[in-house]
Amino acid sequence: MPFDSAYEEVYREVYRPVCEANELHCWRVDEIARPGSITRDIVEGIIDAEVVIADLTGQNPNVFYELGIAHSVGNKTIMTAQKIEDVPFDIRSYRVLLYEQTITGSKRLGEDLNKALKELLAALDRTSNPVQEAVASRSPIGLKTKTPLVKYVDVINLPGRMREWLRENKIVYADDVANIDLRALAETPGIGQDSLGRFLRAVIRHDLYPDAEALNNIMLEYRISTRLDRKG
């Protein structure tokens, strides 16, 4: 969004609290107090983010540039705007949360954003922008694709500390599970037997960890049942 005081209220009163209610750390690049290239900070932030909220209000050129980057690196963007005229015609067919910057409008935006966040996090493998649709329509030959972890693991309904650990260790895609240090995970403070069991049972169910012996040893050592629960 533009770094303009006119948009400060919607950021602090809607975007940030709704994200935090969904256990997502919300930030803008102007909140980073460090030397260096702000453009690089923005690009790295977009690449690393689980979700990008792009407020197109005012047709800010920088916002459109950043939206293009977000579209190119995944299906994780939620677009908002105060009026449809702020949305370029070639992306109007995609979901945009329109809002009014009033008390009632902010409340409605918060409700819509909360719903959109939950839907997006539960279906990161679905195409939601023109760039990813074009990529998905191409032949997979020669292309390296990654499957989001949420396709196999009900991440949203995992206990908070477990979700936090996955974020901290950048376990975003199914392929990333192979890099997990199982013992370090099992001994992480705050991750109890229930959290560990729910995650590892999903890993077993979908054969996401390559070292079956190591996985089995951890399950036995920490007395984790192999019985699959309803949430996978």
Q: Tens digit of pLDDT for each residue in 166-224?
A: 988 988 888 899 999 999 999 999 998 888 999 999 999 899 999 989 998 998 998 88
**pLDDT tens digits, residue range 139-176?**
454 444 567 788 888 887 888 899 889 988 988 888 89
With bands split at pLDDT 50, 70 and 90, how would you rate the model's confidence at 232?
very low
More confident residue, 210 or 37: 210
Report whether pLDDT(32) > 70: no
Report which of 110, 95, 97, 81 is spatially closest to residue 7, judged by C-alpha positions.
81
pLDDT at 231: 44
pLDDT at 230: 46
**pLDDT tens digits, residue range 44-58?**
888 888 899 999 999
**pLDDT tens digits, residue range 2-25?**
888 888 999 999 999 999 999 898
pLDDT at 124: 65
Instruction: Compute the distance between CA of residue 114 and CA of residue 96 in angstroms, rounded to an integer.
Output: 14
Instruction: Compute the distance between CA of residue 14 and CA of residue 106 in angstroms, rounded to an integer.
Output: 7
pLDDT at 136: 67
Q: Which two tokens stand for residue 168?
A: 């901290």
Report which of 230, 225, 175, 167 is spatially closest to residue 196, judged by C-alpha positions.
225
Question: Given CA atoms 165, 195, 20, 117 in this order, what sign does their dihedral have?
Answer: positive
Report which of 196, 143, 150, 201 is spatially closest to residue 173, judged by C-alpha positions.
150
Residue 131 neighbours by CB under 8 Å, 6+ apart: 68, 71, 72
Report whether pLDDT(134) > 70: yes
Q: What is the mean pLDDT of residues 32-55?
A: 80
Q: What is the mean pLDDT of residues 224-229?
A: 66
